[in-house]
Amino acid sequence: MSPKKIEDLVQKYLNGTSTVEERELLDSWYRSQLEDTHEWEADSLDELQLVKEKMFNVIKERITPNLSRKFIPNFYRYVAAAVIVVIATSTFFFYKSSQIISSDSTAIERVVISPGRNGAILTLGDGEKIILDNHALTLMDKAKMTGVYKYSDSLLEYKDLFHKDKKGVVSNTLTTPRGNKFMLVLSDGTRVFMNAGSTLQYPEIFNGPERIVKLTGEAYFEVAHNKKSPFKVQVGDQIVEDIGTSFNISAYEDESFISVTLVEGSVKIEKNKNQVVISPGQNALTSESNNAISVKSADLESDLAWRSDLFHFENVQLSEVLKQIARWYNLEIEYKGSIPTKTINGEIYRNVNGAQILTILKNLGVNFKLDGNKLIIENKQ
């Protein structure tokens, strides 16, 4: 809907001349704006606050005398809608600092760094990309979603439609960019929860003696077990095979290891000629440098914290903590000088403003500068 159309709808609503259909259209648009935010560019926080206050006061002054009793309950709701209209005509919504802010500045506590949210990109077999968010889904050609049973901005579910001829089955790829998470239900009923910065390649429908998917990044699998058709996850040069299982795999390209944590059932891990079977509560680690598979007791609280939308750290190196923060808040990490050797302990929800995370780092003695989405860590010795 164009900004002019939205402004007309708001004006009619405030004048009491809108039809039922126009009020429903405005209400639908307003709800969509709560889920689809953009960024406000301002030179300072003071400037942002001043502009917001002026807009609110002007709109309030204009509409207060014209309010009829039946509109009073929704007054503040649609003042907010009107403010959004004014900002929307300039395509801005929220503040993002265009200045470089240091960790020793009090302004860091007021910066808005949005946490991750639901969303993914689906790449079809022919290479076409479909953005899975609320706005894009309304414009999508549903005929292209072969085998898809249900979809939203947080879920993509396939259904095995029992095709007689499955020879022509193609592979799709689902990607959760940095700052996104998503849930995928494969055609066999296997549920895959994908963390930020991850990619899963899979067939629309499984056929043949085994079910194989390929992963980079991190995902939690709840596998629909089938003895006649084993489920396997290919991660680099190793295979993780389920034996009636729920497990987590972390295999980011910027990490030097691949980690498999088992929650239920058992899994077999193969790397070249080596293989091990792990039990619930165990973790298997492999490295690119050799073919060894090391098994230890898993720290389930830390390994699975992201599934509960938490960051959970126990004696974790600062560099590893920053990797997780960067993926979720879509930040770029840069080091000035040597990498600090601090270890971090603690837990915090992933839905908080990233400025809270930075304030914690500041209180722990981490020196940094925030330049747009680049977080520069300075090791002052």
Rounded Cα gap, residues 301 and 314, in angstroms = 10
- Distant-in-sequence, close-in-space partners of 71: CB < 8 Å, separation ≥ 6: 13, 14, 16, 78
| pLDDT > 90 fraction of the chain, expressed in percent and rounded | 46
Residue 92 near residue 84, CB atoms below 8 Å? no
Residue 20, token pair as written in the block: 């039922």
Partners of 58 in the β-ladder: none
Taking only the tens place, the pLDDT of each residue in 264-308 is 999 999 998 899 999 999 999 999 888 899 999 999 999 999 999
- The domain spans of the chain are 3-98, 117-303, 309-378
Mean pLDDT of the chain: 79
Taking only the tens place, the pLDDT of each residue in 23-67 is 667 666 655 554 444 444 444 444 444 544 444 454 444 444 444
Work out the average pLDDT over 156-162: 76
Residue 251 near residue 235, CB atoms below 8 Å? yes
Q: Helix, strand or coil for residue 46?
A: helix
Q: Of the CATH numbers 3.40.50.970, 3.55.50.30, 3.40.50.300, 3.50.50.60, which one belongs to the domain with range 309-378?
A: 3.55.50.30
Rg (CA), the chain: 25
CATH fold of 117-303, please? Answer: Jelly Rolls (2.60.120)
**Is pTM beyond 0.75 here?**
no
